[in-house]
Structure 1
């Protein structure tokens, strides 16, 4: 019985792997399922700025791609543990460079601090966040100085699964503020009755931080070198020729 049970488990594992593997010649890229307007699921389809950018770049590079949207923590886990060769969109950090090669930016992220209207406070440096309950999306790479402030216990970080949850907690008074991508918050607030109650403080945590398509270092080799180079050139050309700006406008103007 034990042998039968082990065989059954092995078959299930194999079937699971086959279900997630790409077809021959197809690149399987995993992405965040809840980062509008950059990558998200709408009517059962993976859409967004990064998704459109990658598909256009792949067409230019003569490659075929399949994009799978997953919870962000799972994307990172798969990338770090050999479960996927390609992933997006990642900020470049020393820790991530150990397991990934950063190919080219898909989008550029501006991050700010959001508060409830009437709860604004002077914000000129991270010291102004001391003692605050700060919301943040789970698994995202914090700026190094903000990470250090959390490590020192100068502020309390509360992680959630999505920006919508941060908005909910903010309006309920369960956090003092949250940090997030500006375009992501704008997109999330569209159609919300409470949209005017969420205020972006003037100072930004960062401007135009690049978010990349990456390949796992374990997946790199002679057989991928040409694809990597072609995708890099194609993505860079989409930023130069204005395609990125036009794609971004399509999502931010009419979500």
Structure 2
């Protein structure tokens, strides 16, 4: 009888440890980013929606977590994750500079072609040959990463840093810059909202193709979170969930 009682007590203690130990580890994650059309959007009430929201919420749930999304200016969003004040940065492209500041998800969950925008009168400034744009004024949105080719060409360009796409388009409209580097996913809705769709051309070929990730603080907590979420994100890619969500949100994903 005594042995049976001891067995029951140990079984009860083990069950409590499993239940309450798991609950202690489960928590609300803070994910931050800025308005990325169809990736991370916020409505008038501050409710988040988009591919990143659906995907990260599912991945976190597999680890027992919930996620709260917060909208911040892009430079500020990067800073709070870098400082460990938020758990996840939503959507950054990888770059050598960012790899020094953040841990990136193994999975790239969307893809953008970065392109130049220009007035029809200046369309000849870009046809894939950087020498055509040498000495010209180019707008690069503050905090964005544009790839190796742009980095190599920087010294031959007159660079301005508009704080967002809308500011860059106004600069383009007023002739303060000759070219604006952006992506169509971000820029098309802004052009439509500003009534400027007919004023500018998308110049081909693309400057670069960049892939977007989730990123985490470069510390032990960030590394643990990255490893665990990578496992769940890979499962969501393998079972087709990522592809179906990307189809629903009309977002390109890497092959």
In the alignment of these two chains, the number of paired residues is: 224
Let me know the Cα RMSD of the aligned residues: 2.6
8 Å CA contact 1:89, 1:211 repeated in 2: yes
What is the distance in 1 between the residues matched to 2:82 and 2:51? 24
* Pair 1:120-2:118 in alignment: no
**If the length of structure 2 is used for normalisation, what is the TM-score?**
0.76
- Mark the CA change 1:80 to 1:251 in structure 2 (over 3 Å): closer, same or farther: same
- Mark the CA change 1:219 to 1:187 in structure 2 (over 3 Å): closer, same or farther: farther
What is the distance in 2 between the residues matched to 1:244 and 1:190? 28
- Mark the CA change 1:241 to 1:135 in structure 2 (over 3 Å): closer, same or farther: farther
Counterpart in the other structure of 1:145? 149
**If the length of structure 1 is used for normalisation, what is the TM-score?**
0.76
- Mark the CA change 1:142 to 1:116 in structure 2 (over 3 Å): closer, same or farther: same
8 Å CA contact 1:135, 1:160 repeated in 2: yes
Of the three residues 75, 91, 113, the one matched with 1:110 is 113
What is the distance in 2 between the residues matched to 1:206 and 1:182? 12
Counterpart in the other structure of 2:219? 218
Higher strand share: 1
Of the three residues 195, 200, 203, the one matched with 2:202 is 200
Which structure's CA Rg is the greater one? 2
- Mark the CA change 1:214 to 1:143 in structure 2 (over 3 Å): closer, same or farther: same
Q: CA deviation at 1:239?
A: 4.1
Q: CA deviation at 1:195?
A: 0.8
Matched position secondary structure for 1:119 = helix
Between stretches 182-191 and 66-75, larger displacement belongs to 182-191
8 Å CA contact 1:37, 1:187 repeated in 2: no
Counterpart in the other structure of 2:19? none
Of the three residues 123, 129, 135, the one matched with 2:133 is 129
What is the distance in 2 between the residues matched to 1:245 and 1:182? 20
Q: List gaps (5 residues or longer) in structure 1.
A: 1-22
Counterpart in the other structure of 1:99? 101
What is the distance in 2 between the residues matched to 1:246 and 1:212? 18
Q: CA deviation at 1:126?
A: 2.2
What is the distance in 2 between the residues matched to 1:173 and 1:242? 46
Q: List gaps (5 residues or longer) in structure 2.
A: 1-24
Counterpart in the other structure of 1:56? 58
What is the distance in 2 between the residues matched to 1:27 and 1:190? 34
Counterpart in the other structure of 2:5? none
8 Å CA contact 1:52, 1:247 repeated in 2: yes
- Mark the CA change 1:71 to 1:55 in structure 2 (over 3 Å): closer, same or farther: same
